[in-house]
Chain A
C-alpha cells in the first residue's frame, strides 16, 4: 500500500529551530512537496524536492533521502505566525499526490 507518516503534533519555542519528519512508502516517486496550512485556510506551497539533498529557502529548508524514503522540513528562527499544520505530499507513479495527515506545529512564546 501507499503510506505517508508524519508526527501528529509538535511544540517549539519562538526563536528556536524545529525539524518535522516525513517518511513515505509509495508506488514510484516523482517528487516530494511540503505545504503550510493555517487552521481553516488553504494549504500554501513551501518546497519541492526531487533529488537527494537539502533545498534552502529563507528560514525554511527541506531535505530528501530517496533511498530511505525520508524527508524533513527545517524551520529556523521560529515566529508565532509559523503556528500551523505542515503537510507532506509525495507524487507517485501516476503523477497524483499522496498526502500525509499533517503535523500541527504549536509555537510557544
Chain B
C-alpha cells in the first residue's frame, strides 16, 4: 500500500537534546512538507522540499532542521534551540500538478520531559 509513514508515534525530549522525527513516503511524490499543529491553531509550515537535495524554510523554521537526501525521506530534527517543542508534528507529500493535493502521515506527538 502506498502512503506516508511517520515514526515514532510518540516522542519525549529532554532539555538540551536534539531529536529526529522520521518521514518516509512511497507515493513517488516530489514535494514533501513538515507542519506543526498546536491546539486552537491552524497548521504551521516548518520546512518544505520540492525536490531532492533542496529545501526551503517555512513560517516557523527557527529551532528545526531538515535534510532531503532521498526522494522518499524527509527527516525533521527538533534542536535544543526550539524552546517550545511540545506539539503534534505532521509530515505531508503532494502530487504536483494543478491540484497539488497534500497527503499526510499519521503524525508524531512530541513532549518535553
B45 contacts chain A at the CB level, 8 A cutoff: yes
Number of interface residues of B (CB under 8 A): 21
Pick from A31, A41, A50, A100: contact of B42, CB under 8 Å: A100
> Judging by beta carbons under 8 Å apart, are B90 and A42 in contact?
yes
> Judging by beta carbons under 8 Å apart, are B99 and A48 in contact?
yes
> Judging by beta carbons under 8 Å apart, are A95 and B107 in contact?
no
Q: When each residue 64-95 of chain B gets 1 if its CB lies under 8 Å from chain A and 0 otherwise, what string results?
A: 00000000000000000000000010100000
Pick from A33, A42, A48, A98: contact of B106, CB under 8 Å: A42
Q: How large is the interface on A (under 10, 10 to 19, 20 to 34, 35 or more residues)?
A: 20 to 34
Shortest CB-to-CB span from B8 to chain A, Å, is: 14
A87 contacts chain B at the CB level, 8 A cutoff: yes
- Chain B, Cβ-Cβ closest to A99: B42
- Chain A, Cβ-Cβ closest to B48: A96
Pick from A48, A97, A101: contact of B40, CB under 8 Å: A101
* Distance between Cα atoms of A42 and B35 in the complex (Å): 11
Interface set of A (CB-CB < 8 Å, partner B): 4, 8, 31, 33, 40-45, 48, 50, 87, 89, 91, 95-102
